[in-house]
Structure 1
Amino acid sequence: MTTISKTKSSYYRRLYIAHLIENGVATVPAIIDYTGMPRRTAQDTIKSLSELDIICVFNQTKGERNRSGQYKIIDWGAINKHWIAEHITDIKAALDYP
């Protein structure tokens, strides 16, 4: 694998997380299970999506007082989600995710 810069890996990680949320892997535990990513990395990456103008909200389950619910991408900003889907294999390989 070719080593990529921290900037590129951070960018790709955000794209990957947004792609997962868009495709139903939309909770922190699900992201952790799917990717093997540490909890803090998953949480921080979700929070940082706004830096790319990706609007991601947490929809809490009605009637629940705990934090049950899931994330949803409301707006992709200038990011082309179709490009991500077409290049997801390359993105995962660059991040060294299975």
Structure 2
Amino acid sequence: MTNSSMRKAANDDNAWKALYHKDFTLEQDSVTPTNGWKAYYAATRAIVNINTEFFNIVRDKSLPAMSHFWLNADYVKCIHASGELFSGIVGFN
């Protein structure tokens, strides 16, 4: 448990906005997050982390790890950087 001043500081929207701009980008100046900057920071951090993990798996060509991210279903589509569309399980060359 923390005291109320510490809790207030940890949830201060301006502090989270400053941290967001420090860690990510200043191009978000016009954004007003619906759930506040703390939630926006957490969501952006989660996306950055999962993207990093995904690209490490692709770099390592790990099919077992890729199955963690890729749902094997006909409605799942992947568009390669070349523009080629893939469906289902795709092997690495």
Answer with 1 or 2: which has the greater Rg: 2
TM norm structure 1: 0.30
Higher normalized strand content (fraction of residues)? 1
TM norm structure 2: 0.31
